[in-house]
C-alpha cells in the first residue's frame, strides 16, 4: 500500500512508522522543515518507547520517507491521511484550519482516485467540511476525480503508542462506501488479523466516538478525584475504595486512580471541544463541564496541602518536585499538573528543584533560565536543600526510594504524594509526615 501522512507530530509519526513496519511505503509530509531535517537524520522529536528503532529501521529500508513537498505526498498515496494538529481555539472549539488547509492542498494536486482519511481528532461534521474543500478545489481546476473521505480516529496512549497501534483494541472506520471499507480493511489487516477489532460505522459516529472515548476516561478520573476529597473529609482511604469498586467488572480498574488531575494533549483539549460542540448543537453538557471544573481544581490540590502545612506564604522555601511530564514514559508537558504546581509555588514565593527522567529539556524550553527553578540530573539531587518533597508523576523509579537518605537530605521529613505511590503506614514508620490524595487522615 502507498500511504501519505500529512503531519509528522505524535500521531502522524507513530502512524507512519507502524504502517511502514507492516511493509507499506509511507511518505510523511510536514511544513516544519527543521523537523523534517531531524527525522531524515534519524532524530526523533518526541519521546515514545520503541519509536526511534522503528523509524530508523524503515527509513533505512526505504519504506518510510520524510519531506516538506506536499505535491510529492499527494502524488504518492492512495491513502491520504490527515494527522495535523487541531489546537483549541479561545472558545475551546477545535481549530480546523490546518486540517482544511491539507484538504485544499490534496484537492488542488490530486490526479487520480484517493481516500482522504481524517485521523486528527475533529468535531462531528469535519469530514463534510473536508469533502467540500476537496470538491471546491477540484471544481476550480475543472477536474472530475473520484475520491472518498473517511473518519479513522486514533486511540494511541502516549508511552504505549507502538503497542496500541500494532495490537489495537479497535480500529474505528467511518465510511458509507463498501469499496472504501474493504480498502481500509486491507490497510489495517496486518494489525487486526488475529482479532476482530475492525469496527465500521457512519462517518459522524466515528468522529463522535473519539471524543466520547476520551471524555469517558476523563470523567472516570474526575469522579475518583472528587471522591478522594470526600474520603479525606470522612476518614476513608480512597485506595481501599478503588480496590472495592474496581473489582466490579462493570467498572474495572482502569482510569480510577486518584491524583493531581489529567493533562496532556488529548483529554483537556477534547473535553473542551466536546463541551463546545454540545453547546453548538443546543445541548447543555452539565456532566462534561463538571468533569473539567473538577480537574482544574484538582491540579491545585498539592499546593493547597503544602500551604496548609507550611502556611500561605512560602517565601524563602524550596520544594523538590519529582515528575514534570503529565504521565510516565513521555516528555509531554502540555496541560501537565506539574506546571500548575510549579507556577502556584512560584506565586507563593517558593523556589522549585525538579527532576524528571525525560522531560527536563521540555521544562527548560517552557520556562527558560530563572533563579527559582533548578532542573536536576537525578531524583536525590532535587531534594538537596528542599523543605519538602512533592511527587507529581508516578515514574517507576520513584516507587522505592531510599527513605533514610531522603529524611537526612530534606529540611523537613514531609512528603506530598500526588499519585498515592507510597504506603502511609510505611512512611509513618520512617518518621515522615505524609500527605496523599484521599487517604483518610493521612491525606488531610
Active site residues: 266
The count of C-alpha atoms lying within 13 angstroms of the C-alpha of 362, restricted to the half-sphere facing its C-beta, is 21
Cα distance between residue 211 and residue 428, in whole Å: 43
CA geometry: angle 305, 310, 315, nearest 5 deg: 115
Question: Coil, strand or helix: which one is 198?
Answer: strand
Residue pair 437/260 in contact (Cβ under 8 Å)? The answer is yes
Cα distance between residue 47 and residue 26, in whole Å: 21
The count of C-alpha atoms lying within 13 angstroms of the C-alpha of 35, restricted to the half-sphere facing its C-beta, is 16
Cα distance between residue 193 and residue 166, in whole Å: 11
Q: Which helix (H) or strand (E) holds 404?
A: helix 403-409
Residue listed under C-alpha cell 532524530: 43
Residue pair 180/150 in contact (Cβ under 8 Å)? The answer is yes
The set of cell numbers assigned to 196 is: 476482530
CA geometry: angle 382, 384, 388, nearest 5 deg: 80
Cα distance between residue 123 and residue 396, in whole Å: 36
Amino acid at each position: 500500500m502507498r500511504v501519505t501522512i500529512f503531519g509528522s507530530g505524535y500521531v502522524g509519526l507513530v502512524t507512519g512508522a507502524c504502517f511502514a513496519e507492516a511493509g507499506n511505503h509511507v511518505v510523511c509530509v510536514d511544513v516544519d522543515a527543521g523537523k523534517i531535517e531531524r527525522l531524515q537524520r534519524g532524530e526523533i522529536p518526541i519521546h515514545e518507547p520503541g519509536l526511534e528503532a522503528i523509524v530508523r529501521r524503515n527509513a533505512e529500508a526505504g519504506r518510510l520517507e520524510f519531506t516538506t513537498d506536499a505535491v510529492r505526498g499527494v502524488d504518492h498515496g492512495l491513502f491520504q491521511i490527515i494527522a495535523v494538529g487541531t489546537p483549541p481555539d479561545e472558545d475551546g472549539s477545535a481549530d480546523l484550519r490546518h486540517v482544511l488547509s491539507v484538504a485544499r492542498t490534496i484537492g488542488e494536486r490530486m490526479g487520480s482516485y484517493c481516500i482522504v482519511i481524517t485521523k486528527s481528532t475533529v468535531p462531528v461534521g469535519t469530514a463534510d467540511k473536508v469533502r467540500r474543500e476537496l470538491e471546491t478545489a477540484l471544481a476550480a481546476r475543472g477536474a472530475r476525480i473520484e475520491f472518498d473521505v473517511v473518519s479513522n480516529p486514533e486511540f494511541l496512549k502516549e508511552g504505549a503508542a507502538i503497542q496500541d497501534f500494532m495490537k489495537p483494541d479497535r480500529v474505528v472506520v467511518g465510511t458509507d462506501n463498501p469499496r472504501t471499507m474493504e480498502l481500509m480493511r486491507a490497510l489495517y489487516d496486518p494489525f487486526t488479523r488475529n482479532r476482530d477489532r475492525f469496527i465500521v460505522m457512519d462517518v459522524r459516529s466515528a468522529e463522535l466516538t473519539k471524543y466520547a472515548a476520551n471524555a469517558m476516561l476523563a470523567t472516570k478520573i474526575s469522579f475518583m478525584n472528587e471522591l478522594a476529597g470526600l474520603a479525606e473529609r470522612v476518614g476513608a482511604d480512597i485506595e481501599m475504595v478503588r480496590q472495592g469498586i474496581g473489582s466490579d467488572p462493570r467498572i474495572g480498574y482502569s482510569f480510577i486512580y486518584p491524583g493531581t488531575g489529567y493533562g496532556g494533549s488529548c483529554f483537556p483539549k477534547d473535553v473542551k471541544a466536546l463541551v463546545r460542540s454540545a453547546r453548538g448543537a443546543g445541548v447543555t453538557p452539565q456532566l462534561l463541564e463538571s468533569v473539567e471544573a473538577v480537574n482544574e481544581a484538582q491540579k491545585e490540590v498539592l499546593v493547597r496541602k503544602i500551604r496548609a502545612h507550611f502556611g500561605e506564604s512560602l517565601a524563602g522555601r524550596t520544594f523538590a518536585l519529582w515528575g514534570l511530564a503529565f504521565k510516565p514514559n513521555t516528555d509531554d508537558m502540555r496541560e501537565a499538573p506539574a506546571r500548575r504546581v510549579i507556577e502556584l509555588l512560584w506565586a507563593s514565593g517558593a523556589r522549585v528543584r525538579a527532576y524528571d527522567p525525560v522531560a527536563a529539556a521540555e521544562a527548560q524550553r517552557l520556562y527558560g533560565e530563572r533563579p527559582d527553578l533548578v532542573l536536576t540530573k537525578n531524583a536525590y539531587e532535587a531534594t538537596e536543600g528542599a523543605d519538602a518533597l512533592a511527587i507529581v508523576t508516578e515514574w517507576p523509579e520513584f516507587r522505592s526510594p531510599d527513605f533514610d537518605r531522603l529524611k537526612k537530605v530534606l529540611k523537613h521529613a514531609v512528603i506530598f504524594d500526588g499519585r498515592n505511590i507510597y504506603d502511609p503506614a510505611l512512611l509513618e514508620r520512617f518518621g515522615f509526615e505524609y500527605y496523599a490524595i484521599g487517604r483518610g487522615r493521612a491525606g488531610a
